[in-house]
Amino acid sequence: MDEIEIVDSESELESLAGNTEEANGPVDSAEEMKRFYVLAKRQAWKVEQLSWGQIPPIPEGKGSGEMRARRQVIWRSVVTQQLQADLLASKLSAQLLSDINDVPGRLYYSTMVQDEGRHAEAWLRLTNEVGGMSEPDPYLERLGALTLNADTIEEKIWGFQVVYEGLVIDRFRQIASATQGTIIAEICSHLAIDDGVHHGAGVSYEQLLLEHTSPRTRRAITRMSKEMWPIFVDHLLWRPHARSWASSAMRSRDLETIRSSMEQELRLAHKLGLEIETPPGY
Ligand SMILES: [Fe+2]
Ligand SMILES: [Fe+2]
């Protein structure tokens, strides 16, 4: 359903922009970013549109009080991590908006700042509904710092939009289907679409930048990726203290997530002509 909406908008936008006939010609980067700008504007939504007060914020669960309390801890931790992630995304998209110089690129990034701010707003309200933030994931903060402190726009877009946003889309779809009929499901359905646009725009813009970038910047991306992986693995394996009992039971599923994340990063690197190594042993 979500994918269909995006595809419909894209084909509609192409005819709006009058470039359908040139679709197979060389990619015009300014046109590409205009297209993502219009698409982002069309997909924009409001936090007030969610069914606040009409449906439960997170799944209420069944069974004994103790089991329900355990589930509550899990969902609260999910909400906390998403709030952390979207606060970082707000900072990073604001950096990109101010650092990028071309007009179509800037216009596009002005929509991304609004999207990430809206995501943070939605998570803040949901956090309030579930009793406040729980223990934050320290590795997520470190991953954020690595990207925020990178020297070049190329490294930032690679880490943030190409890799992280590319990986998170499936996660949002999984959460949405596991939590149907709740506010968290509504938020995750919107975020899967928004991050689909952010990831698509990031891949496009990164391709454009890499056409002119120096070997030094390409090496910096390789270095950042290498530094990122051990932290990313710690992030995927991390659980708050209240949930640490689940870690050994979830080990094989966690390892599978790590493996598929690495495969996806390698595919994206190949698509962009970048040299990336992933750590051995997975
Ligand atoms: Fe976001
Ligand atoms: Fe995003």
Q: Is 54 helix (H, G, I), strand (E, B) or coil?
A: coil
**Residue 232, CB half-sphere, CA atoms under 13 Å: how many?**
24
| pLDDT reported for residue 250 | 85
Rounded distance from Cα 243 to ligand 1 centre (Å): 25
Rounded distance from Cα 183 to ligand 2 centre (Å): 19
Chain centre to alpha carbon of residue 14:
25
Domain that holds residue 121: 29-272
Cβ–Cβ < 8 Å for 166, 264: yes
Rounded distance from Cα 33 to ligand 2 centre (Å): 16
| pLDDT reported for residue 27 | 56
Rounded distance from Cα 60 to ligand 1 centre (Å): 25
Judge whether 120 lies within some domain.
yes
Rounded distance from Cα 281 to ligand 2 centre (Å): 30
Judge whether 157 lies within some domain.
yes
Judge whether 253 lies within some domain.
yes
Tell me the ligand closest to 117's alpha carbon: 1
Rounded distance from Cα 82 to ligand 1 centre (Å): 8
Judge whether 5 lies within some domain.
no
pTM of this structure = 0.88
Sole residue written with tokens 């992933």: 278
For the purposes of burial, counting CB atoms within 10 Å of the CB of 257, is it exposed (0-12), middle (13-18) or buried (19 or more)?
middle
Rounded distance from Cα 15 to ligand 2 centre (Å): 26
CATH number, domain with residue 45: 1.10.620.20
Q: Is 183 helix (H, G, I), strand (E, B) or coil?
A: helix
Judge whether 22 lies within some domain.
no
> How many domains does the chain divide into?
1
Judge whether 279 lies within some domain.
no
Judge whether 19 lies within some domain.
no
Query: Low-confidence residues of the chain, pLDDT below 50?
Result: 1-26
Judge whether 191 lies within some domain.
yes
**Residue 270, CB half-sphere, CA atoms under 13 Å: how many?**
7
Cβ–Cβ < 8 Å for 94, 78: no
Rounded distance from Cα 85 to ligand 2 centre (Å): 9
Secondary-structure percent of the chain, ordered helix, strand, coil, rounded to 5? 75, 0, 25
Rounded distance from Cα 194 to ligand 2 centre (Å): 6
